[in-house]
Structure 1
Amino acid sequence: MTALHIALLGYGTVGKGVYKTIQTHQEKLKRIFRKEVKVVAILVKNIEKHHTLDSDVLLTDDFNKIITLEQLDVVIDAIVGQEPSFTYLQQAMNRGCHVITANKEMFAYHGTQLKQIAKEKGVTLGFEATVAGGIPIIQTLRQLLNVNNIQKVQGILNGTSNFILTKMREDGCPFETALKLAQEKGYAEADPTNDIEGYDAFYKAVILSELAFGENPNWEESIRQGIQSITPEQIELFSALGYRFKHVASMEKTEKGIVCSVKPVLVNETHPFYQIEGVQNAVSIDGDIVGNISLQGPGAGMLPTASAIIEDLVYINKHSFSPIFLDEQNGLSVKVSKIYWAMAGDAAVENIPSHIQIIDRPNPNVLIVEASWEEICDIQWPNTYFYQVLGKVLTENTLVSS
């Protein structure tokens, strides 16, 4: 019985999780592949800091020793940064290897090119682990795209920012205190910029956009806002009205192209994200046939990410002779849905422009209004802030959906 030969690029948290999972689930993998699944090489930066449990595994800091192995079927990328990951995966596909990546930043920048190379070389490209860890969002979208036109995708895609917002609301603490706790627990890096300013979620949104709509959003026109400016006072004010802050990535196809944003929003108990707390992730998909599908689960970590990679490995086994690539089948433009905003501050109550429709006034200092992003951006009132509201807005007379 021949083996399936795998090389791991990177042996940190994710790489170790993949290696461990292959070892502990070897019998089940054998039944699926009808052969042994074997890690034959691991690429690391510093050999002295690592060891493997199997003396037959090549541990090296030289990628050339891996790409020139006599037998190599799959290359799994578990390193970070655009380079050298992008270059390594190009070389692997050019050799004829299937590839799987968990590198969201690299894939956001170079995913389109990698898909084209994979198509030309007749290999499969797996990238489930680039978005939402253990949540099978990529596979779900692939299944829906057989018939459905995807209209909108929204997600809590970064567990660190969600943890911070949860702790601020539960404990009444300021942002800095919640961030420090996230760092102590290992959820946030020493430099948390990618998480708290929305870069991590934006990279994932780009990946989902190309899969769902067949194209990337315009990076320059996309909206990316962090959570640093949210205060305990704002959280307390909106909590009393039944709202919770969530850091949400949203993608929607419109007549002008893909509208993409990553920003703090408000949700109430009618929205599926209301109960997503701590480091959990969630994704909501609107299809023209299926309606709304919501998925939730662990967004990161050793085993959830390893799970996504191993499932991609199984996907390769099922489709290795007929790789599936996205056709541009979602060409229909859809109408931009109404946008509702919660505005707080004296100026918001007294000086609201006539062209902005007031939906509700839940208390003397807060308005719920309907307005476009551009109209909201034109408002430059001091001591006034606004956040988009997702889900259903409850008013005294009616119920409207955003």
Structure 2
Amino acid sequence: MSTIHIALLGYGTVGKGVYQTIKTHQKRFKAILGKEVKIEAVLVKNLEKHQLPDPDVILTNKFEDIISLPKLDVVIDAIVGKQPGFSYLSQAIKRGCHIITANKQMFAHYGRELLSLAEKHGVSVGFEATVAGGIPVIQTLRKLLSVNHIKKVHGILNGTSNFILTKMREEGCSFSDALSLAQEKGYAEADPTNDVEGFDAFYKAMILSEVVYGKQPDWEKVRKQGISSITLEQIELFSKFGLRFKHVASLEKTTKGIHCSVKPVLVSSSHPLFHVEDVQNAVSIDADIVGNISLQGPGAGMFPTASAIVEDLIQLETERARPDEGADHASFAHEPLLTWVLYGEVKNLEIPESIEIIGKINAKALLVLAKEESIENLSNKIKGITVYQLLGDFTFSGTEESRFPSAHSITGS
């Protein structure tokens, strides 16, 4: 029986998960591929910190030992940072190896270059694990929605921020207390900036943009906002009206180009992301034929990420497909009217004609309908107002004012 020879870069949480999964699923590999899958070598940074369970597998801290292996078919990248991962994978491709990566930061920066290089050398690239862990969103978008035009994509792409918002709402704790709990459980790093300020979700959104549109938006024009400014008071207020805070990455292609944001939004119970709690990730896809598809599952961790990597391995071996540089599955839309909540000192607030007032949730929260440009102009001019997009339908209770047909100045409370 022939063998698929693999080198594994990195032996942290994800690397160990891949190693164990490959070792324990040999019968499945043989049944599906008709081949054995063998890890030939593992690259680590510090040899003293690691010990492999199999003595015949090479453990090295030199990439030269990896790239010069006599037999090497696939290189799996489970390290972090833009470098040296990009350099290592480029060398692997030039040798004629397929590559699979879980490195979202690197792939957001260099994915297009790696895909182009892979096409030139006739090899394939797997990157399912870069977005939403074990959820097969990349394969769904690339393989299963080829005819559909994607209207928009909303995703909860970071489990740490979702866990924090869930705990604040369920347990009535502050942001700092919820963050400390996330760190105790191992969900958040000692420096949680990448998670709570939206960088992690941003990199994943850029990768999704490549898959859906074949390109990325201008990084400087993407609105990126974290969750650290959300207060317990805000969470409790909106919870009374059936709304939940979620940290959401959004993608949509308009006549002005690709629109992307990563920001806290309010979600009603009618939206697919409403029930996504704790460390779960989810992606909601709206397409012209199928309608809405929602994928939910664990977004990180040893075995969810390992699952995405080994499924990529199966795809590479069974399809041997030409690398997909990204096909534009998106339909164009004019800049849409969106629903927004204006929170803060809304009393005596002057509202321009470009913004339609729908109603007042309570004395501190106003519901409006507007294009994002109009909302940005308003928020830039007025202090003391925080703006949140609202996803899903919202129904006013009988005690709340439900319509303001003509007024564009709210007075009283």
What TM-score do the two structures reach when normalised by structure 1? 0.96
Alpha-carbon offset, residue 246 of structure 1: 0.1
Aligned residues: 397
Alpha-carbon offset, residue 33 of structure 1: 1.7
Q: In the alignment, which residue of structure 2 is the partner of 1:347? A: 346
**Deviations 1:268-290 (CA, angstroms, capped at 9, x unpaired):** 10011111110000001111111
Alpha-carbon offset, residue 327 of structure 1: 5.4
Alpha-carbon offset, residue 338 of structure 1: 2.0
1:386 partner letter? V
In 1, are the aligned partners of 2:342 and 2:366 still within 8 Å (CA)? yes
Gap regions ≥5 residues in structure 1: none
> CA RMSD for the aligned pairs?
1.5
Q: In the alignment, which residue of structure 2 is the partner of 1:312? A: 312
Q: 1:333 to 1:355 in 2, by over 3 A?
A: closer
* Percent identical: 60
In 1, are the aligned partners of 2:225 and 2:264 still within 8 Å (CA)? yes
Matches within 5 A, 1:215-226: 215-226=215-226
Alpha-carbon offset, residue 213 of structure 1: 1.0
**Deviations 1:138-176 (CA, angstroms, capped at 9, x unpaired):** 110012342111121110000000000011111111111
In 2, are the aligned partners of 1:270 and 1:391 still within 8 Å (CA)? yes
Q: In the alignment, which residue of structure 2 is the partner of 1:90? A: 90
* Mapped pair 1:362 → 2:369: no
CA distance in 1, matches of 2:327, 2:277: 35
Q: Which moved more, 1:366-375 or 1:191-200?
A: 366-375
Q: In the alignment, which residue of structure 1 is the partner of 2:389? A: 388
CA distance in 2, matches of 1:249, 1:193: 16
Matches within 5 A, 1:105-116: 105-116=105-116
Alpha-carbon offset, residue 363 of structure 1: 2.2
CA distance in 2, matches of 1:382, 1:290: 42
CA distance in 1, matches of 2:69, 2:186: 36
CA distance in 1, matches of 2:68, 2:134: 32
2:235 partner letter? I
In 2, are the aligned partners of 1:348 and 1:367 still within 8 Å (CA)? no
Q: 1:19 to 1:287 in 2, by over 3 A?
A: same
Alpha-carbon offset, residue 386 of structure 1: 1.8
Q: Which moved more, 1:77-86 or 1:233-242?
A: 233-242
Q: In the alignment, which residue of structure 2 is the partner of 1:146? A: 146
User: Structure 1 stretches (4+) deviating beyond 6 angstroms?
Assistant: none
In 2, are the aligned partners of 1:214 and 1:326 still within 8 Å (CA)? yes
Gap regions ≥5 residues in structure 2: 404-413
Q: In the alignment, which residue of structure 1 is the partner of 2:274? A: 274
2:74 partner letter? V
CA distance in 2, matches of 1:337, 1:383: 26
CA distance in 2, matches of 1:364, 1:292: 34
Alpha-carbon offset, residue 395 of structure 1: 4.3
Matches within 5 A, 1:61-100: 61-100=61-100
| SS of alignment partner, residue 107 of structure 2 | helix
* Mapped pair 1:325 → 2:304: no
Q: Which moved more, 1:22-31 or 1:356-365?
A: 356-365
Alpha-carbon offset, residue 345 of structure 1: 2.5
Q: In the alignment, which residue of structure 2 is the partner of 1:21? A: 21
What TM-score do the two structures reach when normalised by structure 2? 0.93
CA distance in 1, matches of 2:326, 2:275: 35
1:55 partner letter? P
In 2, are the aligned partners of 1:96 and 1:121 still within 8 Å (CA)? yes
Q: In the alignment, which residue of structure 2 is the partner of 1:371? A: 370
CA distance in 2, matches of 1:327, 1:347: 44
Q: In the alignment, which residue of structure 2 is the partner of 1:240? A: 240
In 2, are the aligned partners of 1:9 and 1:76 still within 8 Å (CA)? yes
1:160 partner letter? T
Q: Which moved more, 1:43-52 or 1:27-36?
A: 27-36
Q: 1:190 to 1:331 in 2, by over 3 A?
A: closer
**Deviations 1:275-307 (CA, angstroms, capped at 9, x unpaired):** 111000000111111111000000000000000
**Deviations 1:125-149 (CA, angstroms, capped at 9, x unpaired):** 0000000001000110012342111
CA distance in 2, matches of 1:150, 1:97: 32
Matches within 5 A, 1:103-142: 103-142=103-142
1:378 partner letter? N
Alpha-carbon offset, residue 351 of structure 1: 2.7
Alpha-carbon offset, residue 381 of structure 1: 2.9
Q: In the alignment, which residue of structure 2 is the partner of 1:6? A: 6
In 1, are the aligned partners of 2:9 and 2:78 still within 8 Å (CA)? yes
Matches within 5 A, 1:178-327: 178-320=178-320, 322-326=321-325
Q: 1:252 to 1:168 in 2, by over 3 A?
A: same
Q: In the alignment, which residue of structure 2 is the partner of 1:32? A: 32
2:346 partner letter? A
Q: 1:239 to 1:67 in 2, by over 3 A?
A: same
Alpha-carbon offset, residue 344 of structure 1: 2.1
| SS of alignment partner, residue 394 of structure 2 | strand
2:212 partner letter? A
Q: 1:348 to 1:42 in 2, by over 3 A?
A: farther
CA distance in 2, matches of 1:226, 1:288: 31
CA distance in 1, matches of 2:72, 2:202: 33
Alpha-carbon offset, residue 67 of structure 1: 0.3
| SS of alignment partner, residue 378 of structure 1 | helix
Q: In the alignment, which residue of structure 2 is the partner of 1:49? A: 49
Q: 1:274 to 1:193 in 2, by over 3 A?
A: same
